[in-house]
């Protein structure tokens, strides 16, 4: 998944998930799998313009799912 999400500067949240998929659609997309591997790497997650030396704490985060299913949650301020 990649892209840009334009939002107002207010408190809120966003979700990236596959749980909303209809099971039959999910099985076609994921070739009949009963579980979806949600392992991922966050290459870059930033808010606002880029400034030299700014630290984005989730940049470079890698999470590997070892079991059949799972969930990852991140909380940022």
Which spans in 1-77 are helix H? 23-29
The pLDDT of residue 30 is 67
pTM for the structure as a whole = 0.69
Q: Cβ(76)–Cβ(55) under 8 Å? A: no
DSSP letter assigned to residue 52: T
What pLDDT tens digit does each residue of the chain (77 aa) get? Answer: 788 888 888 888 888 876 666 666 766 776 666 667 788 999 998 888 888 998 899 999 999 988 777 788 898 87
Tokens for 72? 């990852």
The pLDDT of residue 34 is 66
DSSP letter assigned to residue 77: -
């Amino acid at each position: 998944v990649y892209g840009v999400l334009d939002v107002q500067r207010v408190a809120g949240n966003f979700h990236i998930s596959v749980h909303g998929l209809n099971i039959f659609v999910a099985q076609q997309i994921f070739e009949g799998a009963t579980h979806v591997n949600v392992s991922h790497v966050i290459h870059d997650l930033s808010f606002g313009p880029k400034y030299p030396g700014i630290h984005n704490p989730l940049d470079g985060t890698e999470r590997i799912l070892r079991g059949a299913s799972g969930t990852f949650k991140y909380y940022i301020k």
